[in-house]
Structure formats: structure tokens, C-alpha cells
Structure 1
Amino acid sequence: MARWWEVPPPSRASYLAGVDPELLAVDLDPLPDGAPAVVQFHPTAGTVGDPVDVLLGELDRAALALFPAWLPGAEHLEGPQGYGVPAVRALAAEAASRSRTFGPFLADLAERALRGRASGRLRFPAEVRAAGLARVVADAYGRDGTALLVHVPTGLGPASQASLTHAAEWLAHCGRLTVWLAGAPLDTVDRIRPVPLILPPHLTGLAAQAQHLDPPTGTEPVPVFTFPPLSGQPRHDSAAESTLERALAPHEWARDRRWNHTYDGPLLGLTYRLDLCWPADGVVVEVDGPEHRQPLRFADDRQRDVHLQLHGHDVLRFTNDQVLADPGAVVEKLRQLLHQRRSVKERIAHAEH
């Protein structure tokens, strides 16, 4: 049986009829084997603007953040000093020769990434940028292609619906992106093909659970654009995760931590992405952004926590605001929990001998 992301045609724009995009977002975290690299766009009613310009800018930002994952060999370069710039441009030219990516664009992108510069992306036509950025994002995750999941908001007028669907079609055509629109109906647009999906039971069951939960409220907005984290690193688009990593780095007791680690749960064959964990100690830390207040994500979090706890893990959750406001307090709580877990393990080992 085909998995749901294999049903819509690739390199096309499709409307996923009757599907909550947040449910799909839960199923795409972590990225399943065989799925494309999926980035997500959360426009809001009244602020759609020019989606093509917004999305090209966001894709560019993601590509710079994901460097050097998409350029083999660049991980050995220490910066733009010395031969760094000629070397990274040579690596980009070599990579472009093995793909359909325009060589000068890739070399320019690689140099900007090495220099840590966000400017300069308008040097190339939009069509070149779209195709190049889509390929770079896919390469960063080792995937065959890139898909864009658009969370269609309620309240879009005819002009905004037309602008959003035009952007979806343009990106699919020029960038060879697979575009999925899901959410509020596009009732004034008839040129986007609707695609019905049959979702797996674990997703439909999660939707049923979410109806009976009351997630917390907050004022922090959901980011307009998100992309998956790379295993072994804090999220590049999360100030909270980066802040926590800097706070943990000086401490010897915090060694052996893993960021965005994929955990294959023994229960029901479920796979989880853990924001931060110490696998040997059974300690899991989740850093929750505003998307975790969404009912489906909130229900999934509760289910994950129960499964992890049933298999011997301690799970601590902190909001972005908590980490950013007082990272030292968060670090101290982690130190105490790790010390407690390790002391218990030592006592058990001593008793067995």
C-alpha cells in the first residue's frame, strides 16, 4: 500500500482534500524513510503578500543554515580565510557538474554560506534560485527531492487564494518542487487538482484523541517557515535549542548528549525524534515551540511521553520562553536529573557485583 506522501504526483501542486496539515506535520517528524525533504509554510490570512518572494527568501535562509550538509567536503573548511573561498567554490563547481544545478549559483551560495552572509541572493533569476535551492535542500537531507507543505489558513479572500496557488504552481514548475496545499478549502480556485488521501490508523487515532485535550495557550507565533533539523545538531531555526547547547557545552557532565536523535520505540514500531537526549542515561529533553500548543501536536506529545516513560525514560519539557529567559535554571534541572539517574545506575551495578 502506498504511503500518503507517495499519492500526490511529484513536481506538481496538489490540494490534499479534507486533511489537517498539522496531522501531516506530525507524521513527517522525523522524516520517514523514502519521503522527500519536507519544508513547511504557514502563511496567515491578510499577510500572504508575494508568496514566491517570501518562499525563495526562506529557502535561501534554510540552505545557508544547512551548510555544509549539502556540499560534500566543505565540512573540512574552517572559514573564508586563506584558501577557504576558492576551495568552497571549487567544491560547488564539482558538485554542480554531477547535477542539474547551475554551477555559478551553487558556487555563490556556497561562498555566502562559508562567509556567513545572507545577502546576494538576488544576483540570479528567480527560476535559477528556485531550482537550485530545492536541490540543495534535498541534498542536505540525502533525499531525492524537496516537498513544500503549505498550511492554508482560513479567511483567505479570492486574491490571496489566487496568489497562493499561483506561487505553488510556479514553484512546482520552476523549482521542480512537489507542493502540497492542505487546510482551509480553496473555494475560489479550480485549477489545483484535489487529491484524496487515506491516512494510516495511527494518524486518525491521534486526531480522535486531540478532540478531548485542552492544550495550553500562548502568544508566541508559529514561524512562517520551518525545515527539519539535522541529526546531531540543535535546530538551526531554533534560538532556544542553540541557547541551551551553548549553556551545556562547558559542562563535563553534559557530555554524550545527542541533539535531534531518532529513537525507534519498541512499542507499536513508532519512531520519535528527540530534541535532546542522553541515551545511556535514559534522559529526554523536549524544547517546545509554539507549534506544540496545536491540539494534534499536543496530543502527540502526551502519547510520546507516555511511551518513553513506559520504557524507562525520564522526559523533561521546557518551552522556548523558559529556555531563553533562564538557560541556567534549565541546565541545573538537567544536571540534577542526570546525577540522580547515574547514581541509581551506579548503586544497581555495585549491588550486582
Structure 2
Amino acid sequence: MRSWSDLPVGRVVRLDVEADAAALSIDPLPPGAPAILTYRPEPAELLDDARTVAGLVASVLRELDAAALALFPAWLPGAAGIDGPGGAGPRAVRSLALRTASTGEHYGPFLAELAERALAGGGPSAFPPEVRAAGLARVLAGSYGRSTSAVLVHVPDGLGAAAQEVFVAGCEWLAQRAKAGVWLTGAPLDAVDRVPTVRPRPTTGPTGPSWAQAGGGRMGYPAIAGRPHPGSPGELALEAALARCAWASGRAWNQTYLPHPLAAPIRLDLLWERERCVVEIDGPDHRGAAKFAADRERDVLLQLDGYAVLRFLDVQVLTDIETVLRRIAQFLRGRRGTEG
């Protein structure tokens, strides 16, 4: 079996692994692996997009673009302190982008446009699909400190022979133009016989998936250590509330924890290390059997190491933030032995 770091980039392969198991085993990203995103299109939407290769490519590029915009400024060194499109902001990020491109593999004009669009909150790109595919792949890889990127694509049920052919051709276009891995899971492609099958070696044991959809879309991507996930309204809302609370100091978002040397790493949504307090925000995907079981197993490992795990539903964070804050504060003050 191959590890995630050994899977090919620049081509399309089918993975001999269950889609849920694959998603659980790639966050935290394994050492040496590409930056791995997940693409899970809705069958009805895909049937519309897959009428032509160009339509499918346009759909995927929209999702990759949304992910890159949401991850800004992780991929642009020096841009963290620049807020909003007003004043000198656009000129500043454009200058940073051109400087970054001059010392690496990025295409300067594309990176500058992407930075300006991120600062402005979106908008269409003027560049052709070929430039966008290559540029977005580099940006997404750079967001995670990786040299390459890959997309784990879940093939939905119900694709006919013609749609399967268009689907695979679109994936091949993306892999070749972006020089990225396109790894397929899900429904079989029985009408297309040119996609080789490989079997990765998934990480064993529980992990802490901290993925979210970009802008409510179909592209999922892992969190970046030290920041709430930009695609998680629950994490963003909780951080905005905690930032106003003096008692919340010492928190760290999306940290990786290793229970013991032979265990799989665990991604923690929110951690107070000194107080040994972990806060998890569970979206609807945590109700699934595989993720529910993984959550329970990792909670036990954390508790055995002396950590308390406080779990809240994302809907609770979004609709009753005061109760969430009160419960976290009560626990932290108890651990600190103070009422302050």
C-alpha cells in the first residue's frame, strides 16, 4: 500500500478506500503529503455541470477559487495586518503578491489579482482557466506549507456513461493544467477504464477532522493551525466572542495533538493548553457513524491524558453564544482556581 505522500500528482487515480475513511485520515495532513482538499459535488449539480468538460472545469475552479479567497492571507506573507479594500490596502497586497511571486513559482499578475479580490471579498477573475488552475493549485499548496496540492473527489452515484466520460476528462484536465493530484473515491466509473486504482495507507486511529466547506460550497479544506477555520461560521463566531473576553486568553485554534508516539495525530478545534481544556464545535457531519465513532474514541484518549473535552453543536454557538461562553468560562475558572 502507498502512503498519502506517495500518491501521484499531475494525474487522476482512483483510491481503493472508503470515502469516509479517506476524509478522516487526511486531517491533520500527513507529513510529506500534498495539501489535500475534498470535493463532494451534489449529484444533481454535477449532472448539470458535467454536460461539457468546460462546464465541469468551470465549476471546480469556482470552488477552488472560493477556498483560496477564504484562506487569505495564509498564502501571502506579510498581508495579515491589511484589513479591507479601502485606502492603500489593494496597492499594498498587490505589492506583496508581486514580491512573493518574484522569489517563487507563482505567476505575479495572477497572484496580485487574487490578493486584491480576497481583500475586496471576492469578484470574478480575468484570467483564463489554464492560468487559474495552475495559480490556485500553487496558492492552496502554499497555504499549508506544502509544495503540491491534491483534490480528493467523491464521485456521486447516478452518472451515466456520457457523464462519466466528461467527468473523467474534466478531472484529467485539472490534474494536467494544475499539476495537482486528482484522487477519486465514491461511486465506480464502470464506463471509463483508463483510471488506474491505487490503495493508500490511511492513518490508523482517531483523528480530529476540522474541515469546512468554502463559502458554503462543495470544496472542503483543512484548518490552518492558529486560526479558526474560515469556512466554519461556528468557529468564526466563537472567536469573535472570545476576543472580547479577558478570561479567554491563552487559547489556540486548530492545534495538532499527539497522544503517544504510535497514535495518529488529533486535530483540536480549540485548546487551552495550561488548563488542559479542549473545545469542539460539531457540525452536521459529526452525526455520521464514522465521525461520531472517531469523536468518541479521541475524546477518551484526551481524557486519559487529563484533558476535558467540551462539545457544542455549531447551531448552539450561532444561536446561544452566551451560554457557550458561560460554560467555557466556568470550566476555565475552575481549573485556574479563581473567580476572576
Fold conserved between structures, TM > 0.5? yes
Q: Could you tell me which residue of structure 2 aligns to residue 164 of structure 1? A: 167
Task: Structure 1: state its 5+ residue gaps.
Answer: 207-221, 345-353
Q: Residues 62 and 255 from structure 1, CA distance in 2 versus in 1: closer, same or farther, beyond 3 angstroms?
A: same
Q: In 1, Cα distance between the equivalents of 2:168 and 2:69?
A: 27
Query: Within the alignment, does 1:95 sit opposite 2:100 as a pair?
Result: yes
Shift of 1:290: 2.1
Q: In 2, Cα distance between the equivalents of 1:321 and 1:43?
A: 24
Query: Within the alignment, does 1:104 sit opposite 2:102 as a pair?
Result: no
Instruction: Please show how residues 107-256 of structure 1 align to structure 2 within 5 Å.
Output: 107-116=112-121, 118-121=122-125, 123-199=126-202, 202=204, 224-256=218-250
| Secondary structure of residue in 1 paired with 2:45 | coil
Query: Within the alignment, does 1:42 sit opposite 2:40 as a pair?
Result: yes
Equivalent of residue 325 in structure 1, options 301, 319, 328: 319
Q: Which amino acid in structure 1 is aligned with residue 193 of structure 2?
A: D
Q: Residues 160 and 324 from structure 1, CA distance in 2 versus in 1: closer, same or farther, beyond 3 angstroms?
A: farther
Q: Residues 329 and 13 from structure 1, CA distance in 2 versus in 1: closer, same or farther, beyond 3 angstroms?
A: same
| Secondary structure of residue in 2 paired with 1:227 | strand
Q: Which amino acid in structure 1 is aligned with residue 312 of structure 2?
A: F
Q: Percent of counterpart pairs with the same letter?
A: 48
Deviations 1:57-81 (A, max 9, x none): 1111111121121112222434444
TM-score, reference length from structure 1: 0.85
| Secondary structure of residue in 2 paired with 1:74 | coil
Q: Which amino acid in structure 2 is aligned with residue 246 of structure 1?
A: A
Task: Structure 2: state its 5+ residue gaps.
Answer: 50-55, 207-215
TM-score, reference length from structure 2: 0.89
Shift of 1:302: 1.0
Q: Could you tell me which residue of structure 1 aligns to residue 15 of structure 2? A: 16
Shift of 1:21: 1.8
- Does the CA contact (< 8 Å) of 1:11 and 1:179 recur in 2? yes
Q: In 2, Cα distance between the equivalents of 1:90 and 1:102?
A: 13
Q: In 2, Cα distance between the equivalents of 1:90 and 1:7?
A: 36
| Secondary structure of residue in 2 paired with 1:151 | strand
Q: Which amino acid in structure 2 is aligned with residue 186 of structure 1?
A: L
Deviations 1:189-232 (A, max 9, x none): 112122234546x26xx7xxxxxxxxxxxxxxx96211111111
Q: Residues 279 and 300 from structure 1, CA distance in 2 versus in 1: closer, same or farther, beyond 3 angstroms?
A: same
Instruction: Please show how residues 300-339 of structure 1 align to structure 2 within 5 Å.
Output: 300-339=294-333
Q: In 2, Cα distance between the equivalents of 1:276 and 1:97?
A: 36
Q: Which amino acid in structure 1 is aligned with residue 4 of structure 2?
A: W
Task: Identify which range, 91-100 or 147-156, moves more after superposition.
Answer: 91-100
| Secondary structure of residue in 2 paired with 1:23 | helix
Query: Within the alignment, does 1:77 sit opposite 2:82 as a pair?
Result: yes
